[in-house]
């Protein structure tokens, strides 16, 4: 038996996998003591199945707690020890404005205020040579002052420490001796990569959440132990791999975005299971939509992420962190996204969201704005009586009033057209985001298979697919707890990065082998901790033409040489940008090495898809016309299929099958939507 | 036309030009393009009206680019263009104001019918001549100039043109690569545009374009209608090349738009700080647009209601063959002048004067390669440092932040990886923000020396050393900038803000970027803000 737990912003999802079947539950997230919410969910699934706690062999866990602590600035009082003369790196950032035409923007507030960012006299050059030695006494003095000010977490980030970490390591020794209670994060451990702002930002964010996460993880393990669950606990990372408790406590910054990563891993498993080579996963919830491209069962990876994009989810308005992440595009488009018309009669939807309180107007909790969900109600995509399994009766009139006020009046459209326009704009926003994401990565979207999950995705999947020239959609079963399912499908893995700068023609392959050996040692320690004995190794070089600003990730084959790297770079570059630049020198900035355990087998079916909704019909507005759509409970979808227009209803969501689409049920309980006469 | 279709088409055009800009940014070689976003991209109807423009790092291209396509069409009328043609120029008076900026225009065809054009501009690091800097005496000394020409004719590259260009620049591979990047980003835009027309069932951009332009114009006029009609004047002095210059503007608000005239501005300079009119228009327009109707997208409709003029032959309407390479050092000051006028109309929306001109020195090896026990290598780097912005009404200015330019800086570690320089300090300069109820943003102090003690060269285009940013409504000016060399023996020598100097062996170079001006009287500053500044050591 395996247990999977995902703590999200609103709900904590718990999934128990037993005898090839799945039992799931959702409980409210308990912010004050998140572990207690987890334990409620655990008790619930155990009671439901009658299983014994001691039979659980593995616990998998992902949590949004680190992300929330960063967004809400609830982390530890953190100090930054850095190279004298550079204490403002963290605040100067890129010295730019992320919004050109707004003179009132504020730059992201650093996690460490200036009076706690202090320099010591030391200097390492780009090649690792020590230009100025560091004095132990000065370190003790400066750190001592910070501790007196109340600092409990210390980030250490010296210039070029990725090339020579000696000074940072010496600081750790001093702290261990003189200030044993101080929690230390070294930039040469957390993010040994060139570019001081990103490295320090990552290190500081790690230090900031470390004490809190350590406390939480310890408490969780204790409470699990109290229940008799004393098996291993593995944590989900943003890179889509699982890691050990020890590693997670050391590098908690790697836990941000574990929820979305879980969703992507679920989609990747479905892609493999159904033999889909090129997939677009589409996860749409209440506030945001996330789109991820998955080729050959592997989601795109990168090393750049931004936490807390506080200005309309805009790039540059957050704190950059350099960690392994599953690459996806996230935009402010969800069921709660609000519509408004501006002075140029342009209709905008999102990123402002009605959230869950007060929620869309149809929730009847005082929300007056016109949300995407209100448009879905007016268009007849949602069934007022059976929303959330009938727990909440939707107020259709409130939706109508809200849409009339926000859109119909200003744009002189009738109610149906207005609701349709809201849906079209939010779908267009998502389509634009998907297109630009794909073009950024040199990928094509047309003819991919879409895998849709999250509460709002199945409502908009078919319309979005048409925009993107996609003809097949899979809506997996149990999509409401998609992230927790994804954890059960993820391998144990660990990625290590090192900056070793060289022009390609001058690369010392002997030294490179030493660098890789060192990286391999570090990553295999995590594998051993997790009792994983079989694993594969993936190495990548981050390369570019001399003078460029963006690096391209290139796979480094075994027994690599200059030609192999050059060919790999040119292949990757052509895929991204269409052509190479002959005779241009190539340089390499960083290297990564990842060890990866076996990917678990696909899961059994969810016992919980049974619905208590009755079949019938409802009128549904689609592209200028009202249709009579049949209502089909999800557990009654036939393998033979249903022609659209149809609404496939389940507790967590509704799958809209527009005219021209067919829906049928697959063996694993997934729904498959096919456009036109194509029979997939 | 169907309202929904208009909505979708407008959204889509805005997304297409952003994608076009992304492709350019990711493939460009020049530092300021890829790291700093010194580029622009836009889509035009067949009449040459700009319908949408990507929001990128540089207002300098705002409407200089909007006008450029019309200039291309004047030389190569639409009926003479054919599929596969691509056009190019770097003429400062047809493009964006100096030889480094190359503008490439590509007509888009559906079958054999032209449905629109894409244009893009980016900064190519070297165009021959003296190199990027203010020291030339005329534009001929500044490098190669390519009049509006075909880069590709019916899909075939213009080999003669490319060979000529490559023979006249210091880094021909990069120059050619950047031209291909420009062509490629227009191609990406073209593919997306054709797909959009097909998806929406539109025959061309004419009808939807007209609606976009008229709605944008109306929205701008509605914003302008809220301002009191009248004439508002403002004068500012800046350092100039070797003597101070006067920037004088009269801004007129009327029912049909805003006009800005720079009569009374200094005459053209004998050195490379002159500004062609298109670049003057770009930054002056930005000054208006960043506070009036700033949510209206840039297009021919919204830009058309702001009319900028300057007397012929003055510094802000310099004519061929004046030297123009460092035109940004004057141009970036213009929003401060325009905002000074607007302050009299909308005092609650306008920031104080700021450092404004980016400090982007070019560092390179000296003539002597002699270091301490080593011979040093050649290098050239062009980092960007910023001063403080002016205090906003109700908010402090932003410290070390580019404004009006939208560029990003490069990392110290990367600068040290690509040169033998060591940056010993790069930190806020406490007290450099002009005090007031709201304080100006702080400047920074940068200390640099050659790792091996060798001499090196710095080419400077700095301003606000003699004319610091003024505060508004009784606030103080920001600290002036400074640049000097010193050594351990205590010898110290100040350098002028413009031009090329040698940092002698064993010396270090110190640069202090200017602070922003304050806003409102200091007595009105809240105790809380004072405490915050004191704790942080910023004052």
pLDDT value at position A636?
A: 87
A420 in reach of chain B (CB within 8 A):
yes
**In this model, does residue B30 exceed pLDDT 90?**
no
**Cβ separation A194–B414 shorter than 8 A:** yes
Q: How confident is the model at residue A134 (pLDDT cuts 50, 70, 90)?
A: very high
Percent of chain B with pLDDT over 70: 99
**In this model, does residue A605 exceed pLDDT 70?**
no
Count Cβ atoms below 10 Å from residue A508 Cβ, excluding itself.
Answer: 11
A584 contacts in B (CB within 8 Å)?
173-174, 177
Exposure on the CB side of residue A127, measured as CA atoms within 13 A:
7
**Cβ separation B400–A123 shorter than 8 A:** no
Instruction: Average the pLDDT over A661-672 and give the result.
Output: 91
By DSSP bridging, strand A153-157 and strand A183-186 are parallel
pLDDT value at position B421?
A: 97
B395 contacts in A (CB within 8 Å)?
104, 106
Tell me which DSSP letter residue A369 carries: S
Q: Within its chain, how far is the Cα of B477 from the centroid? A: 24
**In this model, does residue B156 exceed pLDDT 50?**
yes
Count Cβ atoms below 10 Å from residue A502 Cβ, excluding itself.
Answer: 15
Q: How confident is the model at residue A679 (pLDDT cuts 50, 70, 90)?
A: very low
- Rg (C-alpha) for chain A, rounded Å, is 26
Contacts of A159 (CB under 8 A, 6+ apart): A82, A83, A86, A123, A124, A196, B412, B413, B416
**Cβ separation A101–B295 shorter than 8 A:** yes
d(Cα B456, Cα B376) in Å, to the nearest integer?
10
Q: At what angle do helices B277-289 and B334-342 cross, to 10 degrees?
A: 40
Best of A82, A87, A88, A100 to disrupt the B interface (most B CBs within 10 Å) is: A100
- Chain A window 324-353: which residues touch B at a Cβ cutoff of 8 Å? 342-347
Instruction: Average the pLDDT over A486-493 and give the result.
Output: 94
Tell me which DSSP letter residue A134 carries: P
Instruction: Average the pLDDT over A546-573 and give the result.
Output: 89
Indicate the average pLDDT of chain A: 91
pLDDT value at position A606?
A: 58
Instruction: Average the pLDDT over B358-375 and give the result.
Output: 86
- Rg (C-alpha) for chain B, rounded Å, is 23
- Using alpha carbons, select from A652, A645, A653, B275 the residue that is nearest to residue A663: A645
- Using alpha carbons, select from A420, A335, A428 the residue that is nearest to residue A380: A420
Instruction: Average the pLDDT over A402-413 and give the result.
Output: 95
Q: Which is more confidently placed, A18 or A165?
A: A165
**Cβ separation B424–A346 shorter than 8 A:** no
For B105-147, write each residue's pLDDT tens digit.
999 999 889 999 999 999 888 899 998 899 999 999 999 999 9
**In this model, does residue B403 exceed pLDDT 80?**
yes
d(Cα B413, Cα B417) in Å, to the nearest integer?
6
- Chain A window 523-582: which residues touch B at a Cβ cutoff of 8 Å? 545, 547-550, 576-579, 581
Residues facing residue B511 across a β-bridge: B446, B483
Exposure on the CB side of residue A662, measured as CA atoms within 13 A:
14
pLDDT value at position A272?
A: 93
pLDDT value at position A678?
A: 47
SS3 letters across B46-101? CCCCEEEECCCCCHHHHHHHHHHHHHHHHHCCHHHCCCCCEEEECCCCCCCCCCCE
Search chain B and give the residue with CA nearest A418: B4
**Cβ separation B26–A411 shorter than 8 A:** no
**In this model, does residue A652 exceed pLDDT 90?**
no
Instruction: Average the pLDDT over A145-156 and give the result.
Output: 98
d(Cα B8, Cα A422) in Å, to the nearest integer?
11
By DSSP bridging, strand B257-261 and strand B306-309 are parallel
Q: How confident is the model at residue A680 (pLDDT cuts 50, 70, 90)?
A: very low
Best of B6, B7, B419, B440 to disrupt the A interface (most A CBs within 10 Å) is: B7
pLDDT value at position A612?
A: 61
Q: Tell whether the torsion through CA atoms of B80, B81, B83 and B89 is positive or negative.
A: positive
pLDDT value at position A464?
A: 97
User: Looking at the partner chain, which of A89, A126, A346 has a beta carbon nearest the beta carbon of B10?
Assistant: A346
Best of B1, B2, B3, B4 to disrupt the A interface (most A CBs within 10 Å) is: B4
For A202-224, write each residue's pLDDT tens digit.
999 999 999 999 999 999 999 99
**In this model, does residue A608 exceed pLDDT 60?**
no
Longest dimension (CA), chain B: 76
pLDDT value at position A165?
A: 96
Distances (CA, A) of B292 to A99, A590, B322: 15, 45, 33
Residues facing residue B405 across a β-bridge: none
SS3 A436: helix
Distances (CA, A) of B109 to A662, B84, B103, B116, B151: 37, 9, 20, 8, 17
**In this model, does residue A611 exceed pLDDT 60?**
no
pLDDT value at position B192?
A: 92
Q: Which is more confidently placed, A345 or B388?
A: B388
Q: Which helix (H) or strand (E) holds B501?
A: strand B498-503
pLDDT value at position B325?
A: 96
**In this model, does residue A646 exceed pLDDT 70?**
yes
**Cβ separation B4–A113 shorter than 8 A:** no
pLDDT value at position A311?
A: 80
Residues facing residue A73 across a β-bridge: none
Longest dimension (CA), chain A: 80
For B246-283, write each residue's pLDDT tens digit.
999 999 999 899 999 999 999 999 999 999 999 999 99
User: Looking at the partner chain, which of B28, B192, B403 has a beta carbon nearest the beta carbon of A97?
Assistant: B403
Q: Tell whether the torsion through CA atoms of B344, B349, B355 and B359 is positive or negative.
A: negative
Spans of all domains in chain B: 3-217, 351-539
Q: Which helix (H) or strand (E) holds A62?
A: strand A58-63
Q: Complex ipTM, two decimals?
A: 0.94
User: Looking at the partner chain, which of B192, B425, B538 has a beta carbon nearest the beta carbon of A85?
Assistant: B425
Exposure on the CB side of residue B373, measured as CA atoms within 13 A:
1
B460 and B500 Cβ atoms separated by less than 8 Å = yes
Between A and B, how many CB-CB pairs are < 8 A? 193
Q: Which helix (H) or strand (E) holds A307?
A: strand A305-307
Contacts of A529 (CB under 8 A, 6+ apart): A244, A246, A247
Rounded to a whole number, what is the distance in Å from the CA of A322 to chain B's nearest CA? Answer: 15
Instruction: Average the pLDDT over B33-39 and give the result.
Output: 73
């Amino acid at each position: 038996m395996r247990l999977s737990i995902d703590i999200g912003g609103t709900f904590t999802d718990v999934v128990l996998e037993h005898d090839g079947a799945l039992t799931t539950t959702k409980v409210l997230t308990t912010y004050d003591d998140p572990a207690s919410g987890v334990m409620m969910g655990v008790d619930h699934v155990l009671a439901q199945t009658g299983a014994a706690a001691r039979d659980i062999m593995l616990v998998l866990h992902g949590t949004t707690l680190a992300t929330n602590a960063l967004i809400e600035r609830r982390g530890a009082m953190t100090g930054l020890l850095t190279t004298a003369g550079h204490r403002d790196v963290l605040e100067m950032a890129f010295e730019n404005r992320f919004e050109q035409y707004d003179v009132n923007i504020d730059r992201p507030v650093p996690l460490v205020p200036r009076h706690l960012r202090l320099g010591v006299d030391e200097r390492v050059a780009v090649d690792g040579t020590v230009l100025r030695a560091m004095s132990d006494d000065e370190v003790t003095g400066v750190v001592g002052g910070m501790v007196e000010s109340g600092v409990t977490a210390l980030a250490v980030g010296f210039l070029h420490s990725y090339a020579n970490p000696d000074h940072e390591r010496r600081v750790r020794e001093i702290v261990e001796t003189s200030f044993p209670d101080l929690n230390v994060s070294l930039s040469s451990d957390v993010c040994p990569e060139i570019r001081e702002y990103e490295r320090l930002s990552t290190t500081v964010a790690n230090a900031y959440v470390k004490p809190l996460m350590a406390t939480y993880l310890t408490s969780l393990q204790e409470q699990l132990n109290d229940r008799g669950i004393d098996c291993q606990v593995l944590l989900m990372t943003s890179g889509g791999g699982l890691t050990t408790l020890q590693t997670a406590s050391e590098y908690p910054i790697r836990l941000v975005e574990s929820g979305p990563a879980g969703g992507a891993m679920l989609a990747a498993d479905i892609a493999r299971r159904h033999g889909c080579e090129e997939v677009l996963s589409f996860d749409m919830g209440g506030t945001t939509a996330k789109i991820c491209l998955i080729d050959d069962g592997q989601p795109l990876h990168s090393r750049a992420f931004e936490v807390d994009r506080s200005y309309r989810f805009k790039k540059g308005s957050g704190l950059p962190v350099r960690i392994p992440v599953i690459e996806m595009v996230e935009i402010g488009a969800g069921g709660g996204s609000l519509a408004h018309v501006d002075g140029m009669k342009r209709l905008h939807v999102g990123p402002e969201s009605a959230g869950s309180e007060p929620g869309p107007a149809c929730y009847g909790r005082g929300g007056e704005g016109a949300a995407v969900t209100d448009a879905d109600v007016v268009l007849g995509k949602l069934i007022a009586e059976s929303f959330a399994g009938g727990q909440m009766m939707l107020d259709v009139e409130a939706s109508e009033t809200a849409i009339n006020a926000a859109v119909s009046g200003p744009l002189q459209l009738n109610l149906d057209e207005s609701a349709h326009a809201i849906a079209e704009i939010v779908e267009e926003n998502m389509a634009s985001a998907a297109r630009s994401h794909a073009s950024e990565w040199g990928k094509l979207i047309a003819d991919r298979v879409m895998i849709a999950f999250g509460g709002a995705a199945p409502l908009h999947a078919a319309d979005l697919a048409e925009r993107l020239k996609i003809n097949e959609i899979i809506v997996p079963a149990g999509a409401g707890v998609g992230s927790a399912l994804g954890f059960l499908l993820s391998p144990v893995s660990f990625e290590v990065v090192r900056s070793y700068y060289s022009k390609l023609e001058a690369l010392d392959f002997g030294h490179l082998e030493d660098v890789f050996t060192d990286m391999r040692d570090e990553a295999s320690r995590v594998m051993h901790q997790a009792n994983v004995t079989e694993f594969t190794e993936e190495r990548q070089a981050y390369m570019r033409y001399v003078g460029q600003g963006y690096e391209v990730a290139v796979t480094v084959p075994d027994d690599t040489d200059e030609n192999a790297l050059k060919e790999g770079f040119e292949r990757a570059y052509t895929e991204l940008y269409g052509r190479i630049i002959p005779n241009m020198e190539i340089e390499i900035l960083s290297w990564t090495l990842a060890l990866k355990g076996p990917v678990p087998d696909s899961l059994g079916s969810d016992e919980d898809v049974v619905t208590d909704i009755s079949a019938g019909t409802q009128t549904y507005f689609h592209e200028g016309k009202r249709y009579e759509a049949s209502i089909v409970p999800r557990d009654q979808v036939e393998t033979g299929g249903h022609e659209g227009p149809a609404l496939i209803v389940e507790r967590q969501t509704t799958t809209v099958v527009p005219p021209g689409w067919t829906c049928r049920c697959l063996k694993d309980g997934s729904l498959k939507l096919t456009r036109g006469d194509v029979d997939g | 036309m169907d309202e929904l279709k208009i909505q979708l088409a407008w959204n889509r055009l805005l997304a297409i030009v952003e994608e076009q800009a992304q492709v350019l940014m990711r493939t460009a070689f020049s530092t300021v393009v890829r790291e700093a976003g010194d580029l622009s991209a836009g889509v035009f109807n067949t009449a040459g009206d700009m319908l949408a423009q990507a929001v990128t790092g540089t207002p300098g291209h705002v409407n200089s680019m909007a006008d450029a396509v019309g200039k291309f069409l004047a030389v190569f009328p639409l009926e003479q263009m054919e599929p596969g043609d691509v056009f190019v120029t770097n003429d400062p008076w047809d493009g964006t104001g100096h030889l480094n900026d190359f503008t490439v225009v590509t007509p888009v065809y559906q079958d054999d019918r032209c449905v629109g054009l894409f244009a893009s501009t980016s900064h190519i690091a070297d165009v021959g001549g003296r190199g990027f800097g203010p020291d030339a005496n005329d534009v001929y000394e500044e490098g190669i100039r390519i009049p509006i020409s075909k880069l590709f004719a019916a899909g075939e590259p213009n080999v003669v043109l490319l060979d000529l260009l490559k023979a006249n620049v210091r880094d021909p591979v990069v120059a050619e690569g950047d031209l291909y990047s420009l062509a490629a980003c227009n191609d990406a835009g073209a593919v997306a545009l054709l797909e959009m027309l097909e998806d929406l069932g539109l025959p061309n951009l004419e009808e939807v374009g007209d609606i976009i332009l008229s709605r944008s114009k109306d929205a701008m006029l509605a914003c302008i209608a809220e301002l009191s009609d009248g004439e508002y004047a403002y004068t500012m002095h800046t350092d100039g090349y070797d003597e101070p210059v006067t920037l004088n503007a009269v801004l007129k608000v009327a029912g049909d738009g805003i006009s800005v005239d720079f009569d009374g501005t200094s005459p053209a300079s004998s050195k490379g700080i002159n500004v062609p009119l298109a670049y003057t228009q770009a930054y002056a327009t930005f000054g208006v647009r960043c506070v009036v109707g700033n949510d209206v997208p840039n297009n021919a409709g919204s830009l058309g209601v702001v009319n900028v003029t300057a007397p012929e032959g003055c510094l802000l309407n310099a004519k061929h063959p004046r030297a123009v390479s460092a035109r940004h050092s004057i141009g970036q000051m213009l929003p401060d002048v325009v905002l000074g006028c607007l302050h009299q109309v909308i005092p609650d929306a306008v920031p104080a004067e700021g450092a404004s001109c980016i400090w982007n020195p070019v560092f390179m090896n000296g003539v002597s390669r002699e270091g301490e026990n080593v011979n040093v290598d050649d290098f050239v780097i062009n980092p960007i440092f910023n001063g403080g912005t002016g205090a906003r009404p109700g908010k402090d200015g932003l410290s070390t932040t580019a404004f009006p330019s939208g560029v990003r800086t490069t990392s110290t570690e990367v600068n040290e990886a690509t040169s033998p320089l060591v940056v010993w300090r790069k930190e806020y300069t406490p007290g450099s923000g002009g005090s007031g109820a709201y304080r100006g943003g702080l400047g920074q102090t940068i200390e640099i020396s050659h790792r091996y003690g060798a001499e090196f060269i710095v080419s400077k285009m700095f301003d606000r050393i003699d004319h610091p940013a003024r505060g508004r409504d009784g606030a103080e000016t920001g600290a002036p900038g400074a640049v000097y060399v010193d050594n351990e023996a205590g010898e110290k020598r100040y350098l002028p803000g413009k031009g090329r100097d040698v940092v002698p062996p064993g010396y270090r170079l110190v640069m202090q970027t200017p602070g922003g001006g304050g806003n409102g009287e200091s007595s009105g500053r809240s105790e809380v803000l004072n405490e915050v500044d004191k704790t942080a050591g910023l004052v």
